[in-house]
Chain A
Amino acid sequence: MAGFMPMCSTIEEEEEEEEGGGSSSPVGYRREFQSMLMEGLDEDGDQLGGQKKRRLSVDQVKALEKNFEMENRLEPERKLKLAQELGLQPRQVAVWFQNRRARWKTKQLERDYALLKANFDSLKNNYDSLQQDNQSLLKQIRELKSKLYGEDQETDVPLKEETRDKPKSPETMYENMVATTTTYFPDFKDGSSDSDSSAILNEDNNSSNMAAVVVVANCHQLPESKAIMGDAQKAYQPQFVKIEEHNFFSGDESCNFFSDDQAPTLQWYCQDQWNLTRDN
């Protein structure tokens, strides 16, 4: 395009030109538009200087394409040789290669995108089935434990006994979590007995946060529990860090357990794409 590239002998050197017009397109696009330079047309669109813009013949294009496949960059010797063989100006060959690279780049991007999309879709399928497994496991555990503990007991009693008796070290927090994981679930299901835990549940029904919820609820015996419960969202973070030490979860904070707090930018990214924060 005339506006983007000056018509200049530097084309022969295959150098990138400063583009005009104040647009900020990346390198590849500038090169691409070089081919479409209008080169200052006269009234009927004929090129000034008396030379018509002619399409390359099919054979010429074939030969160029073949050559391009072998090596997409052109050295001077190859250029001259090709030009001679095909009956073209060296400049034409050079420009053709330049444009061809730009076209290739665009195609490559589309190929990459298609591949990424395919990978993403299959990852999503895996994730969904993992989620299903997760749900069914939790359900199983819940059912098992409710059988174990029976119906006559208050569901929060075992919880309180276990957490109160133990000192509040990180190790025992972990033990608590493992031991009482299942006892929490009846609570959460009913949303009843422990007011603190039900507050958490109401805040966030996302099941992938269940374990995280357990973490917070476990700490409700701690002195700062009031403050924590007051702002359930913020509370997740410090507790999460502690549990990280025991590798119960992946320590990767990008896994969006605390999506709202931790990754506002991701929400922006998500737009109408796969919604990582809520779509569980």
Chain B
Amino acid sequence: MMSAAIRTKNKDEGRSRFSNEQIQFLEYMFETQSRPELRTKQQLANKLGLHPRQVAIWFQNRRARSKSRQTEQEYNILKHNYEALASKSESLKEENQALLTQVP
């Protein structure tokens, strides 16, 4: 894995920035297929005026981001469920204690 980009001090600010339209289109494609085939990527690159490798890496990153978001979502849901279950647990404990007084 490339762990760092070599940064030059070029005044090429923003040259790596994809245009909004490019991003829009890439996102649109991502919606239906997160792992496009080589040919698709090539076509995409041609259409958008990008290097195929750029497209490939965009998808790679996009998948990673998707995965992170999903984990985050799942985490929040689970947290919520956990808290609800914890409170239910407490109630049940108390109920059991109360019932216990009636048994012996």
A137–B103 contact, CB under 8 A? yes
B16 at the interface (CB under 8 A from A): yes
A250–B5 contact, CB under 8 A? no
B17–A25 contact, CB under 8 A? no
Q: Give the size category of A's interface with B.
A: 35 or more
B46 at the interface (CB under 8 A from A): no
B32 at the interface (CB under 8 A from A): no
A124–B85 contact, CB under 8 A? yes
Q: Please, which residues of chain A bring their CB within 8 A of the CB of B57?
A: 1, 36, 38
Q: Please, which residues of chain A bring their CB within 8 A of the CB of B15?
A: 7, 39-40, 48
B95–A3 contact, CB under 8 A? no
Interface SS, B side: helix
B94 to chain A: closest residue by CB: A250
Contact of B88 among A21, A33, A276 (CB under 8 A): A276
B96–A130 contact, CB under 8 A? yes
Q: Give the size category of B's interface with A.
A: 35 or more
Q: Please, which residues of chain A bring their CB within 8 A of the CB of B23?
A: 3, 20-23
A181 at the interface (CB under 8 A from B): yes
Contacts of A94-153 to chain B: CB distance below 8 A: 95-96, 99, 106, 109-110, 112-113, 116-117, 119-120, 123-124, 126-127, 130-131, 133-134, 137-138, 140-141, 144
B84–A113 contact, CB under 8 A? no
Q: Please, which residues of chain A bring their CB within 8 A of the CB of B38?
A: none
Known: A9-B13, A47-B6. 19 other contacts (CB 8 A): A1-B57, A2-B54, A2-B58, A3-B26, A33-B65, A36-B57, A36-B61, A51-B8, A53-B6, A55-B3, A91-B9, A119-B82, A120-B81, A123-B85, A134-B99, A137-B99, A255-B88, A263-B84, A276-B84
Closest 10 CB pairs of A and B: A3-B18, A21-B23, A2-B16, A91-B7, A250-B91, A137-B99, A255-B91, A38-B54, A96-B4, A40-B15
Chain A interfacial positions (CB closer than 8 Å to B): 1-9, 11, 20-23, 25, 28-29, 32-41, 43, 45, 47-49, 51-56, 61, 88-89, 91-92, 95-96, 99, 106, 109-110, 112-113, 116-117, 119-120, 123-124, 126-127, 130-131, 133-134, 137-138, 140-141, 144, 178, 181-182, 208, 211, 248-250, 252, 254-257, 263, 266, 269-271, 273-274, 276
